[in-house]
Structure 1
Amino acid sequence: MVNLDHDLAVEMRQITKKFGNFTANDSINFDLRKGEIHALLGENGAGKSTLMNILYGLYTPTEGEIFINGEKTNISNPNDAIAHGLGMVHQHFMLIEPFKVYENIILGVEPMQGMFIHRKKAREKVKDLSEKYGLSINVDSYIRDISVGMQQRVEILKALYRGAEILIFDEPTAVLTPQEIDEFIEIVRNLATQGKSIIIITHKLKEIKAMADRCTIIRRGQKIDTVDVATVSPEELASKMVGRNVDFCIAKKPAETGDVVLKVDQLNYTDKRKVKILNDFSLDLHYGEILGIAGVDGNGQSELLDILTGLRKTDSGKIYLKDKDITNKSPREIQESGMNCIPEDRQKRGLVLEFTTAENLVLEQYRHAPYCKKGILQEEVIRDHADQLMTKFDVRPNNANYIAGDLSGGNQQKLIIAREITNDPDVLIAAQPTRGLDVGAIEYIHQFLVEQRDKGKAVLLVSFELDEIMNLSDRIGVIYEGKINFLTKRQDTNERELGHYMAGGGRDEAE
């Protein structure tokens, strides 16, 4: 049977995918028109990435058919997908850091001149593609030296270099700063204008409204609806996605703050390049408050978090937790003193990807009862603990023996948050806590952070999402060039003023 609708770049019919007894995709129909931007929306674990991994040949469907440009197609691996004009940019990039930009792009399809790679020809082709699609990247830069946003452009160029006409982006803005997100939206629009057909796997409603033509919503493995984005509100999209109304703004009572629990006094840090990253950074965090730290990426946030949690040593300055000096202590000493952290990079710092979900949930407590008796791990207790937490935090699939690296990005994040909150710390550092989460999960996590505050705990929130900072914080500080250049109560500021200080503006200019 041949599909005669030549306006469709992709048509997926009755796609079902089962993993054992678990049905990830249940008879899903999906189509992509030529030249359109089509968003695929759903909760974490809804089956979005599974469906697109089938299209790209990473999974084989249990049932169903795929048509590319009207022709029935058998895609059994990514090479088949590439041969049919598909390219996929994954959430976690697949780049070789010591290689240059153009070397990563041509890897595996190098133009040859006799026995040698024709580097001049390769560079020129990559450069021409970059200019044609407005990607503006130095092809001779090393991957290790460029920003995450630029690394994403390398992934896009890799697909374009291989002739992709259909591009799949898996959670493309999860690791980008607000400025990089704006640039990405412009890049996608430009690609569509030049005839590319684009699928965006996402949970970010604002970005769907900003760039998509249509949106297909998947919930728990089933297609719920396909809508024209221009005619639907973010609230309607959220409701279709999670099956209930969602509160975009968490109601919370005024903070009842107590004594200072965390005192950071004039921290300084210079990196290996002799660049000063932290510059007399100071702050006080009180019991019973959420202190939000806003700032453009690269102003010392990552280094600050590493120093606070014992992963780096400060050059000078002091850190006090409950009046105890924890400066340059080990991560374990700091954690056992009463401070836990939701790290900004869940895969590198938050999880042991090869471990099960149950093992990851006791990473910080496995030495203590009831998880350990006389040096022997109590596996049944650990599994029961995991079952309770995964149910409470809605980690999918709810399986204590599931390998953490096989979870979706959002479910990995929920696993970390379940572990850190359950440890009941006096201070919880939340670094990009909702990165990669859908609106339902974001609402859930925000409620938990506010609950921690209302229990008298202290939360240090570090986020690139100004909406999140404004929604949750009792006080807000702006970090710029390694120090706090603005600190105020939440009710006394607005996004425009915060943006002014995030860009390095001074108080006189703001006034």
Structure 2
Amino acid sequence: MDASSSPPLTAQSTVAVELAGITKRFPGVVANHDIHLTVRKGTVHALVGENGAGKSTLMKILYGMQKPDEGTIQIDGEQVSFSSPADAIARGIGMVHQHFMLADNLTVLENVVLGSEKLHGIGGGARKRIKEISDRYGLGIRPDVLVEDLGVADRQRVEILKVLFRGARTLILDEPTAVLVPQEVDALFDNLRELKSEGLSVIFISHKLGEVLSVADDITVIRRGTTVGTAIPSQTTPRQLAELMVGSELPTPETAESTVTDRSVVEVRNLTVYARGAVSMGTEEEPSAEGLTEFAPAGAVKKVLDDVSFTIHAGEVMGIAGVEGNGQTELIDALIGTKHADSGSIAFLGEDITPWPTRKRRESGVGYIPEDRHRQGLLLESPLWENRILGHVTEKPNAKGFWLNPKGAQADTRRIVEEYDVRTPGIDVTAASLSGGNQQKLIVGREMSHDPKFLIAAHPTRGVDVGAQAQIWDRIREARREGLAVLLISADLDELIGLSDTLRVIYDGRLVADADPASITPEELGSAMTGAASGHLEHEETAPEGDDNAGPEDEAR
């Protein structure tokens, strides 16, 4: 591993992209300072660094979204200057963002040609070109399928095909494996190898160091806005890479001791939620046992949660594993109160909270780390201290009686910034000005500051660096020791296995399997997530149907 030099190049023609001396300043902060990056043709070049290190800014510069204050960009040996993404696309640069940019109500073909109708038309020519690209790189794309019917991995392949359709020769992939199960990650890496074999280059941004070392040909590390070194995967360990990134060794989510008690905090019984339709609270003539009707509401088309039951005890982390879109979001909504149950019940500390509004649940001790921090966790254009108030408007230190207490909120925001290492010039800057990982640390700090009895943690470390990961894991473990009950939903299977005391698998709205975190492997868990297994999962084998260890939900099926 070298902390200064770049990979050896045999000739200038082997270089696809070269960034030299890139510097970008914003008011009060230098995002990039004298960054150097050399990407060889036909390689996967990983770009790693902690949150706020400047990776996103650098890629926005390469993609024409921002102009550098200093430095040069060379594409295929020729110096260029981009004023917009259209300029970058014209020179063969394509970017697949972490948050996909697809229209759900359009077909794959319509999404791919949108904005590029002049290239191959919008009919037969475009369909033929899509099929050619799909076959050439093993993407398996079906042009006439609606995007809303695709899983996460298929959507990602559509995004990759979209940039290839526009003629990209260098692809920027931002956190491409964040929402994929192990089998889907393997398939993506196969796709990347196909791209490499055709002479294309890939810039791979990731926080998952094991994946970086398995797929990359070269690695560039950025720390505090500047390049601090390069590495060759075959000569580097995850620990060395972590130390180069953040100056500390690679953290692990593993929890050594059990803190599970026999005191139940959350009891969910026969919870059912439909995709559409008004929530019916029963009729005078025929109320249900819980005051909820047992029939499908008018307009409902599908059960997105189907007869889900579980109990979480004080000091217990229950992990839910599943491919996104199998009912996790609806489960979270039902628990926090933003969506009402169509049937079933939710009890919290022995009290039925099924009809309670969200605010009452929050005031009673339900914490919430949302799955999408931008849409559900923050007001991006508001200052940090106002974001500290969100979800806790009526509680101290944000309120005095019926009145808001801005000074109390501001003082507590400063405490959170210090305790949770939120890297920011101050509490008056907007949430949008923080990196994703620092936004996440602010949210975690906000939720843990109210001593919740039950924490819904949805992807708590998605898109954060190894240093921030360790801090968030430590906070969850610490609160767990003090009796916190946690529902953990994550696409990071190592995180799920390491932090959880109990593990359940959700598939098509049902809890179909359970597993022992002490023995299950990520590969076995990933297989169950695709619907390939049910009942109680054992290491190296799946328990037969009717196994004594199957839960009551399994037996009911």
Band the TM-score falls in, shorter-chain normalisation: over 0.9
> Does residue 111 of structure 2 align to residue 104 of structure 1?
yes
**What corresponds to 2:70 in structure 1?**
63
Instruction: Indicate the SS of the match to 1:111.
Output: helix
Distance 1:499 1:369 in 2: 42
Distance 2:148 2:263 in 1: 42
> Does residue 220 of structure 2 align to residue 216 of structure 1?
yes
> Does residue 266 of structure 2 align to residue 262 of structure 1?
yes
**What corresponds to 1:199 in structure 2?**
203
**What corresponds to 2:554 in structure 1?**
none
Match of 2:465 among 438, 458, 475: 438
How much has 1:438 moved relative to structure 2? 1.5
**What corresponds to 1:294 in structure 2?**
321
Instruction: Indicate the SS of the match to 1:6.
Output: helix
Distance 1:449 1:372 in 2: 26
Q: Please say which of residues 408-417 and 51-60 is displaced more in the overlay.
A: 408-417
**What corresponds to 1:135 in structure 2?**
139
How much has 1:427 moved relative to structure 2? 0.4
**What corresponds to 2:246 in structure 1?**
242
Distance 1:58 1:257, change over 3 A: same
Distance 1:319 1:208, change over 3 A: same
How much has 1:498 moved relative to structure 2? 4.2
Instruction: Indicate the SS of the match to 2:504.
Output: strand
Distance 1:211 1:151, change over 3 A: same
Distance 1:48 1:499 in 2: 29
Distance 1:409 1:178, change over 3 A: farther
Contact 2:182 2:523 (8 Å CA) reproduced: no
Distance 2:388 2:130 in 1: 44
> Does residue 484 of structure 2 align to residue 457 of structure 1?
yes
Contact 2:23 2:68 (8 Å CA) reproduced: yes
How much has 1:4 moved relative to structure 2? 7.3
Q: What code does the residue aligned with 1:444 have?
A: Q
Deviations 1:290-349 (A, max 9, x none): 222223334322221111111222221111001111114222121112111212222222
Distance 1:170 1:498, change over 3 A: closer
Instruction: Indicate the SS of the match to 1:292.
Output: strand
CA RMSD of aligned residues (A): 2.4
Distance 1:183 1:488 in 2: 25
How much has 1:355 moved relative to structure 2? 2.4
Distance 1:62 1:125, change over 3 A: same
How much has 1:103 moved relative to structure 2? 1.8
Gaps of 5+ in 1: none
How much has 1:470 moved relative to structure 2? 1.8
Contact 2:130 2:143 (8 Å CA) reproduced: yes
Q: What code does the residue aligned with 2:534 have?
A: G
> Does residue 86 of structure 2 align to residue 79 of structure 1?
yes
Q: Please say which of residues 298-307 and 492-501 is displaced more in the overlay.
A: 492-501
Contact 2:31 2:54 (8 Å CA) reproduced: yes
**What corresponds to 2:193 in structure 1?**
189
Q: Please say which of residues 361-370 and 181-190 is displaced more in the overlay.
A: 361-370
> Does residue 45 of structure 2 align to residue 38 of structure 1?
yes
**What corresponds to 2:412 in structure 1?**
385
Gaps of 5+ in 2: 1-9, 277-299, 545-557
Contact 1:321 1:337 (8 Å CA) reproduced: no
How much has 1:93 moved relative to structure 2? 2.1
Q: What code does the residue aligned with 2:446 have?
A: R
Q: Please say which of residues 321-330 and 470-479 is displaced more in the overlay.
A: 470-479
**What corresponds to 1:475 in structure 2?**
502
Q: What code does the residue aligned with 2:35 have?
A: I
Deviations 1:345-384 (A, max 9, x none): 2222222233222221111223344434576544343333
Match of 1:26 among 5, 21, 33: 33
**What corresponds to 1:505 in structure 2?**
534
Q: State the TM-score, normalizing by the size of structure 2.
A: 0.85
Distance 1:105 1:40, change over 3 A: same
Contact 2:182 2:522 (8 Å CA) reproduced: no
Distance 1:111 1:488 in 2: 52
**What corresponds to 2:17 in structure 1?**
10
How much has 1:209 moved relative to structure 2? 1.7
How much has 1:64 moved relative to structure 2? 0.9
Q: What code does the residue aligned with 1:416 have?
A: I
Q: Please say which of residues 285-294 and 93-102 is displaced more in the overlay.
A: 93-102
**What corresponds to 2:552 in structure 1?**
none
How much has 1:260 moved relative to structure 2? 0.6
**What corresponds to 1:95 in structure 2?**
102
Q: Please say which of residues 421-430 and 341-350 is displaced more in the overlay.
A: 341-350
Q: What code does the residue aligned with 1:224 have?
A: V
Distance 1:481 1:163, change over 3 A: closer
Instruction: Indicate the SS of the match to 2:222.
Output: strand
Distance 1:300 1:161, change over 3 A: same
Q: Please say which of residues 238-247 and 126-135 is displaced more in the overlay.
A: 126-135
> Does residue 32 of structure 2 align to residue 49 of structure 1?
no
Deviations 1:470-507 (A, max 9, x none): 21122223334434344465446555664565432345
Q: What code does the residue aligned with 1:53 have?
A: K
> Does residue 511 of structure 2 align to residue 484 of structure 1?
yes
Match of 2:363 among 336, 350, 357: 336
Please list, as runs of the form range in 1=range in 2, the aligned pairs for 1:360-399 lying within 5 A after superposition.
Answer: 360-373=387-400, 377-399=404-426
Q: Please say which of residues 474-483 and 209-218 is displaced more in the overlay.
A: 474-483
How much has 1:199 moved relative to structure 2? 0.4
Instruction: Indicate the SS of the match to 1:215.
Output: strand
Aligned length: 506
Distance 2:135 2:89 in 1: 22
